[in-house]
Amino acid sequence: MKGICVLGATGSIGVSTLDVVARHSHLYKAVALTANHNIDLLFEQCMLHHPEYVVVVDENKAKSFEQKIQNTPISDIKVLTGSESLEYVSTLDSVDSVMAAIVGAAGLLPSLAAAKAGKTILLANKEALVMSGDIFMDAVAKSGAQLLPIDSEHNAIFQCMPAGYKSGMQAKEARRILLTASGGPFRQMPVDQLVNVTPAQAVAHPNWDMGKKISVDSATMMNKGLEMIEACILFAMKPDQIQVVIHPQSIIHSMVDYVDGTVLAQMGNPDMRVPIAYSMAWPERFESGVAPLNIFDVRQMDFEEPNLERFPCLRLAYKAINLGGIIPTVLNAANEIAVDAFLNEQIRFTDIPLVIERSMDKFVASPASSLELILEADKNARLVAKQLIIELAA
C-alpha cells in the first residue's frame, strides 16, 4: 500500500487522480489532500478517501472546514492551513508519492520539498520546472527522488523514450521531440478578431476539461510554451530540438524522433486519467477508467505548424528559454498576472502577450542560481506586470 499526497485535490488533475486512487484502493491510500478554498468538494473527497491530513490554504476556509467535519465520520482528520503546511504534508514519512497539481508558482515550494525528501513526484505543475529547472532537477538527483511527468505531452514523451529512461537523462538516440498542441479554441479565428475574445470564449477548450488559468494558457499557446521549456529540462534537450505541432484532434499526445528515422507516438483518448494511471503504476500499468481509443472514430488526424502571429506567447517562451537565467521565471510570473487580469476583464485577450513581453524587456537574464533569487525575480516580475496592466487600462 503506497501513501499519496494530492496537492490541489479539488482541481481537475486532483479529481482525476482520486478517481484513479479509488479504482486501486488496494494499492494506494490518500494520506493528505490539499485545497485552496473549495471546501465543499474537499469534504466529499474526504468522506470517500478519509485522509489523515487536509490542508486548506485559506485560513478562514480552513476554520469553516473544521466546523464542517465536526460530528461526521471524518472528524478525526488533522486540518492544517497556510502555504507552509503544503510543504509539511509533501514530506510526511507516510507519503510515498506526491501529485503536484497546484497551478502556477504556488506549486513550486511544496513540489521542491517533495523532491528534496526523495519522494516519487507526479509532476503536473510545469511552473516548478520553468521557474527553477536546474535547482529542481539537482534536488531530484541528490535525493534519489523519482520524477514522473503528468502533463499529457510530457508523459507521452516519457513513454516514447528508450527502456530504462529517467527524467533528466539525455537520450542520445532521440534527436527531436514533436510536442503536440490542440491549437485551442481560436486556431481558426481571424487574427484581427482576437482582440474581442471574451474570458468565457477563452476557457471553452474544444478537447480538454481544465481550470480557467490553464484553459486561457491553451488559448494563447503559452501553455505549450511553458511545456516546451519544461521539455528542455525534463529531457535534456535544446529549444531547437523541440518542435511544436498543432494536432487539433488531440489523439497523438506527442512524439519522439530517433536518429534512425523512427518516430514513436503515444496515442489515446484525451483524458488525464491516462497519464495519471501510467505514472501511478509505473513501471507497470493498470486500468485507468478511460475508454479504449476507437481508431475508426478518429478517421483522420491533421497536423500544422503554429502561426506565431496568432500565438505570440509561444514565440516569447522560446525567447525566454534562449535568454535563460531568471527570464523564464519572469515569463511565467507576468503570464500569471496577465491571465488573471484578462479573466477579471481588466485587459483584452491580445494584451496578454504585450504585458509578458514588456515585463521581460525590463529584466536582465541574470543567473537563476538560488531559490531566493528565483523567488525575488518572481515577486518583482509580478509587480512590473501589474503596473503595466494599470497603464494599459488607463
Looking at residue 364, which CATH number applies to its domain? 1.10.1740.10
Look at residue 67 and tell me if it is in a domain: yes
Instruction: Indicate if the pLDDT at residue 148 is higher than 90.
Output: yes
The confidence band for 348, taking pLDDT boundaries of 50, 70 and 90, is very high
CATH code (residue 46): 3.40.50.720
The pLDDT, as a whole number, for residue 204 is 80
Whether 170 is in a domain gets the answer: no
Q: Is residue 104 part of a domain?
A: yes
Where a domain ends, among 149, 177, 203?
149
Q: What is the pLDDT of residues 26-43, one digit of tens each?
A: 999 999 999 988 999 999
**Cβ neighbour number for residue 313 with a 10 Å cutoff:** 23
Average pLDDT, the chain: 94
Sheet containing 174-181: give its strands across. Answer: 242-246, 174-181, 252-258, 263-267
What's the whole-number mean pLDDT along residues 139-158? 95
- pTM for the model stands at 0.91
Q: How confident is the model at residue 311 (pLDDT cuts 50, 70, 90)?
A: very high
Instruction: Give me the mean pLDDT over the 300-321 stretch.
Output: 95
In a domain, residue 121? The reply is yes
* 125-129, 252-256, 264-268: the lowest-pLDDT one: 125-129
Task: Let me know if residue 12 belongs to a domain.
Answer: yes
Give domain status of residue 182, yes or no. no
pLDDT of amino acid 207: 61
Final residue belonging to a domain, choices 114, 133, 149? 149
pLDDT at res. 4: 98
* Tally of domains within the chain: 2
In a domain, 80, yes or no: yes
Q: What is the predicted pLDDT for the residue at 203?
A: 86
Does the residue 158 lie in any domain?
Answer: no
Could you tell me if residue 147 is left (phi over 0), alpha (psi between -120 and 50 degrees) or otherwise beta? beta
CA separation for the pair 309, 299 (Å, rounded): 30
Tell me the C-alpha distance between 257 and 240, whole Å.
13
Rounded Cα–Cα distance for residues 45 and 275 (Å): 21
Highest mean pLDDT of the ranges 80-84, 183-187, 384-388: 384-388
pLDDT at 103 exceeding the cut of 90? no
Question: Domain boundary residue among 118, 149, 180?
Answer: 149
Burial readout 216-243 (b: 16 or more C-beta within 10 A, e: otherwise): bbbbbbbbbbbbbbbbbbbbbbeeeebe
pLDDT at 205: 66
Provide, rounded to the nearest whole percent, the portion of the chain with pLDDT above 90.
85
List Cβ neighbours of 1 (8 Å cut-off, separation of 6 or more). 26, 27, 28, 29
Write out the chain in H/E/C secondary structure. CEEEEEECCCCHHHHHHHHHHHHCCCCEEEEEEEECCCHHHHHHHHHHHCCCEEEECCHHHHHHHHHHHCCCCCCCCEEEECCHHHHHHHCCCCCCEEEECCCCHHHHHHHHHHHHCCCEEEECCHHHHHHHHHHHHHHHHHHCCEEEECCHHHHHHHHHCCCCCCCCCCCCCEEEEEEEECCCCCCCCCHHHHHHCCHHHHCCCCCCCCCHHHHHHHHHCHHHHHHHHHHHHHCCCCHHHEEEEECCCCCEEEEEEECCCCEEEEECCCCCHHHHHHHHHCCCCCCCCCCCCCHHHHCCCCCECCCCCCCHHHHHHHHHHHHCCCHHHHHHHHHHHHHHHHHCCCCCCCHHHHHHHHHHHCCCCCCCCCHHHHHHHHHHHHHHHHHHHHHHHC
Residue 377 sits in which domain range? 324-394
Q: pLDDT grade, residue 209 (50/70/90)?
A: low
